[in-house]
Structure 1
Amino acid sequence: MNIFACSNYRDTMRTTKILLADDHTLIRECLIAMIEKAPGLEVVAQAGSGMEAVRLTYELKPDLVLMDLVMPDGNGIEASRCILSAFPDTKVLMLSMYGDARSVRQALEAGGKGFLVKSCPSEEILEAVRVVSDNGFYLSSHLQGVLEHELHPAAGKLPLTSREEEVLVLMAQGKTSREIAAQLQISPKTVETHRMHLMKKLNLTNIASLTKFAIREGLLPLE
C-alpha cells in the first residue's frame, strides 16, 4: 500500500465525473480507456490545454480534474489555480512526466490534492483517483524517495506544540471541532483556540491552507 495515500474512503455508488487534461492525445485516449472500465468513474470531457481545461470545468463542473503539469495555453499549475478559485470543491489530481520535489510542491501549493508520475502503473492511477475523489490526498509511490527530505522536516523545525500538531492533523483529515474534541478529550472551545493559534503562528487564513501546510510538512499519518 502506498504510504503517501491518505483517504476517508467509503464504498458508495456515486459516479465521479472526471475531466482529463493533457496535451498528448494518445495519453488521453489511454487514460479514458482505463478509467471507463472502472466502476463508479466517468470521463465527461477531455482538454488539450490549460485554458481548455478551465473552460470545460466552467461548463461541466466535474468532480475531479486529472491535470497534466506541462501544457500549452496555461500550464497545469495556472489552470488549477483558476479552477479552484472558482470551484473550490473540485478536486485536482496532477499527472506529470516530472517527479521532482519542486514540481510536487508547486502542484500542492496550487491546491492539488495529489500528484502522480506518468510512469506509475494503471492500478495506481485508479487508486489515486478514488482516494482524491473521496477527499483524500495521494502522492505517487515513485516519489517517496524524492520527497522524503522535503516532506519530513527536521525535529523542532515547526513552531507548534505537540497538541497543536495533533489538532492540525485532525483538521487536515476533515474532522469537525466536535469530533476533534471527542478524540482528544478536550472541549470544542479549546479546539477552536488551538485553531486560532495555528493560523496565527503559521500566518494562514483558512482550513484549506492549514491542510496544504500539513501535507507539505509531512504531518498527515499517511497509510
Structure 2
Amino acid sequence: MKVLLVEDDPLHAAFLRDAVDHALPEALQVLLADNGRDGEVMARQGMDCVVMDLQMRDRNGIDAARTIWTERPDTRILFWSNYADEAYLRGLARIVPHGSPYGYVLKTAPVHRLHLALRAVLAEGQVLVDREIHRIQQRQTSVTRGLSDSEYQVLLDLAVGLPDRLIALRRNMSERTVQNRLLQLYDKLGVETAEAAINKRVRAVTRALASGALNIEALRAAETDLHLWLGSRR
C-alpha cells in the first residue's frame, strides 16, 4: 500500500504521518504533498490511497480530489478537515465516483477515530463519515431545512448575480418556477419576505453563508462554472 498525505500544515502533516504508521502498518510508502496541486502530481505516481486536507493554498482539496478521481477513479481518499460546512459536503457528493471508497473525519476527532477512519477507508475500502459531521449536518439543516439540489443551484446562481431570466435559461426552468424556488429558499433560510426594506436576494446569500450552506470554495467553483456557461453561449 502506498499512501499520499496532502496537508499544508507541517504539524498536522507530522501528526498524520504518525497516525498512518500506527493504523496502517502495511503502508510500504508514505509521501507528503503540501498543497493540492502537488498532490495531484504525486498521486499519478501510483498512490492508491490519499489523506486529503480540504482548505489549502494553491489548490483546495475538493478540486485536487476531483482531478485525482477523474484520472484514477479507484483511488481511496480520506478527507481530514476542520470544516464540516454543508457546502463542502455537497461539493464532495458531486465529485465522488460511484462506488469509490472515501471518508470524512474532522481534525478535532479523537485520535482513535482517525485511526479507525484510516483503516476503514484506506485498508478496507469502506465509506465512512464521522458521526460528528452528521450531528453538524443536523444542526445546519435545522436552519436550512434541507435545501434540494434544485434550490441549491438557484442559490448559487443568486450568489453569482444572475437575474431570474438567466437562472431560468441556465437551469431550463420557467421564470415562474425560478420565483417559486426563490420563495422556498427564503422560507428555508429564514428570510423575512414581508419586510420591504430588506433586499431578499442579498439576505438569502448572507443567511446561506452564515449557516454553512455556502462557503468561499463553493462561491469560487460557482464563479468558474458561470464563466464556462457564459462562454458556451457566445
User: By how many angstroms is 1:103 displaced?
Assistant: 1.2
User: By how many angstroms is 1:97 displaced?
Assistant: 0.8
Task: Point out which structure has higher relative CO (alpha carbons under 8 A, 6+ apart).
Answer: 1
**Structure 1's 83 and 105: CA in aligned 2 closer, same or farther, altered over 3 A?**
same
2:135 maps to what in 1? Answer: 145
Q: Distance in 2 between matches of 1:63 and 1:127?
A: 18
- Asked if residue 37 in structure 1 is aligned to residue 41 in structure 2, the reply is no
Deviations 1:54-110 (CA, angstroms, capped at 9, x unpaired): 011112x22211000001111101000110111111111111111122212212322
Alignment of 1:13-52 (within 5 A): 16-38=1-23, 39-52=25-38
TM-score (norm 2): 0.54
User: By how many angstroms is 1:132 displaced?
Assistant: 1.3
**Does the 8 A contact of 1:23 with 1:71 survive in 2?**
yes
**Does the 8 A contact of 1:36 with 1:43 survive in 2?**
no
Number of residue pairs matched by the alignment: 137
2:81 maps to what in 1? Answer: 96
Gaps of 5+ in 1: 1-15, 158-223
**Does the 8 A contact of 1:20 with 1:43 survive in 2?**
no
Q: Distance in 1 between matches of 2:80 and 2:89?
A: 10
Q: Distance in 1 between matches of 2:20 and 2:112?
A: 10
2:117 maps to what in 1? Answer: 128
1:171 maps to what in 2? Answer: none
Picking from 50, 53, 64, the partner of 2:39 is 53
Alignment of 1:108-119 (within 5 A): 108-111=93-96, 113-119=102-108
Flag as ranges the 4+ runs of structure 1 deviating above 4 A.
none
**Structure 1's 63 and 100: CA in aligned 2 closer, same or farther, altered over 3 A?**
same
User: By how many angstroms is 1:43 displaced?
Assistant: 4.9
User: By how many angstroms is 1:135 displaced?
Assistant: 2.2
Look at both structures and tell me which one has the larger radius of gyration over its CA atoms: 2
Gaps of 5+ in 2: 149-234
Deviations 1:28-66 (CA, angstroms, capped at 9, x unpaired): 01110221123323552001000100011112x222110
Q: Distance in 2 between matches of 1:71 and 1:30?
A: 17
**Does the 8 A contact of 1:18 with 1:63 survive in 2?**
yes
User: By how many angstroms is 1:123 displaced?
Assistant: 1.2
2:219 maps to what in 1? Answer: none
Q: What is the aligned-residue RMSD (CA, Å)?
A: 2.2
Moved more, 132-141 or 47-56: 132-141
User: By how many angstroms is 1:20 displaced?
Assistant: 0.4
**Structure 1's 109 and 150: CA in aligned 2 closer, same or farther, altered over 3 A?**
farther
User: By how many angstroms is 1:17 displaced?
Assistant: 2.0
User: By how many angstroms is 1:121 displaced?
Assistant: 1.1
Amino acid at match of 1:104: L
Q: Distance in 2 between matches of 1:93 and 1:71?
A: 15
Amino acid at match of 2:105: L
Amino acid at match of 2:21: E
Q: Distance in 1 between matches of 2:86 and 2:49?
A: 23
- The SS at the match of 2:44 is helix
Q: Distance in 2 between matches of 1:45 and 1:139?
A: 24
